[in-house]
A and B are shown apart, each in its own frame.
Chain A
């Protein structure tokens, strides 16, 4: 059963009674408190809420870059809890595409090399990697800028390269942390258009954290998080 098929059966994302605590010196900080969330395949979900409400923590748990203190996180049919760090890394490389607020492109690599990065972990040949990266850049409308370095691109273009990097491995789930938070209005619209395209045309399940109501309305569903609890 493929990850997509498994996700179709269990939901793309299933967060079950998840608690997350952080230890700060002798203090235990409660970030998520018995949270439950089901995201069906092909969903475009916007997570909203004030700062410190636990949005990013939830996103990190879904992306498999952090672990819950208790509860279950099942993404693309895989229960992330029992996976070792190495298995989790491998799982991330195949199932999740991450879009950051500040793009986080590698400054010494040009656009196509940045997009190619996740493919370095696959067994694809150099030519296949380059072809796939160029295809992803073509989809985000930057195939003519493939040799440009991040410093030579605008913020919107950098984010588009970052999106190409997130989708190049054809992951089941895209997670986006404030993807328009560092962009002007027009660039933000372009990025949201692009995300909608990936959701509608390519069937990607998207979980997006945002403060921006204009971004949130592009999602199918909006959920609000407050003090570690979903309020709607």
Chain B
């Protein structure tokens, strides 16, 4: 501690350089921690998929629909217990994407059988089953808009086949909750309505986006998936069937790729910051060659001089890390409120700056500091008094 004033005064002397280095580190740690938090949340969300459910979709892309006849053929495959259509409607509330929330057309009775995590009071459930324009909304969504059972609202889809010249009108028949212990990660910000309404309103042009299939035993998932896809192998429209977990993974493949890309960018930024910080530290140490020579002349051992340089670099890393984590905490807290991104990340439980990410971020910051300070520290260690003081 007695050497602290020497280290701190050096950092304070070139405060602009210190500040810019700390900010650069902070940006790097902010990026790494924010991205890692989102990736972790996504991965956690994926891990929550029900192993007893399969999802069948168009082989090529989710953009293309399946023929309506496929549902019954799938239902007939051994091991399949139940099926429901789940179509992403893409409805915009108040005609504006910034109010967007997930909304899907499903077959109500079958949907409720297959998705036990969607918990609706029996009377509301029955009302929905018998109401063509009815829907159920998640508790969080209802709370957000102050909706209650019996309220009306409109949605207008941005998907061309579902745009019918006027918005779809819905009546809230039920508000669903979930058992968060038994079914963590259940999205309470979604809305489900009757596929029949969509089918009829589009002049029977609406195809099937995906079919959720419940199976008898998770162990048979592989066999049943293959059987479903094999059934349509020689058709014009081939299918791709996978577990709900895998489907979610592929559904957010773009997000996954994006995460990969952003993580790549994060790493690139980290590497750049490393070079910048190492350069800054090298300049700082080079400027202090004479001082290093003086310290050694006074009897400071080379190891101590090296440690002083390293501690200075580590302090820069620590300050950058702390600031970056502060920014990341703020950003992650604000993320669910951001249009679009918020709608996606809200679906993933556990979104927050976890102790793991905090230690990861601080570790990365300290490692950056250490790596940046290593070469200058070794140079300081090796510096010969007679050379640096140019007394020869």
Contacts and interface: CB of A to CB of B under 8 A. Distances in A.
Interface stretch (A39-47, A98-106, A140-148, A222-230): A98-106
A83 interface: no
A120 B298 CA distance: 10
A67 to B, nearest CB: 10
A57 B297 contact: no
A177 to B, nearest CB: 6
A60 B290 CA distance: 16
Interface string A93-130: 11000101000101111000100011011000010010
A106 B294 CA distance: 8
A104 B294 contact: yes
B144 interface: no
A94 B386 contact: no
A109 B299 contact: no
Nearest to B301: A89
A186 B359 CA distance: 60
A90 B299 contact: yes
16 contacts: A56-B391, A57-B392, A60-B391, A66-B385, A86-B302, A89-B300, A89-B302, A104-B290, A108-B9, A109-B9, A113-B5, A117-B6, A118-B298, A121-B298, A126-B2, A165-B298
Contacts of A93: 298-300
A154 B302 CA distance: 31
Interface string B3-33: 1011001101100000000000000000000
Contacts of A107: 13
Contacts of B291: 104, 106
A80 B302 CA distance: 18
Contacts of B391: 56, 59-60, 177
B148 interface: no
Contacts of A129: 2
Contact of A22 (B301, B302, B385, B392): B392
Contacts of A108: 6, 9-10, 12-13
B381 to A, nearest CB: 10
Given A104-B290, A108-B13, A56 B297 contact: no
Residue among B10, B290, B301 with most chain A CB within 10 A: B301
A65 interface: yes
B295 interface: yes
Given A89-B302, A104-B290, A120 B2 contact: yes
Nearest to B293: A104
B248 interface: no
A212 B385 CA distance: 25
A132 interface: no
Contacts of B297: 63, 65, 92, 98
Contacts of A131: none
B346 interface: no
A94 B382 CA distance: 22
B196 interface: no
B10 A65 contact: no
Given A113-B5, A120-B3, A60 B301 contact: no
Given A56-B391, A104-B389, A120-B3, 9 more contacts: A60-B386, A63-B297, A65-B385, A89-B301, A92-B298, A94-B299, A118-B299, A121-B298, A126-B2
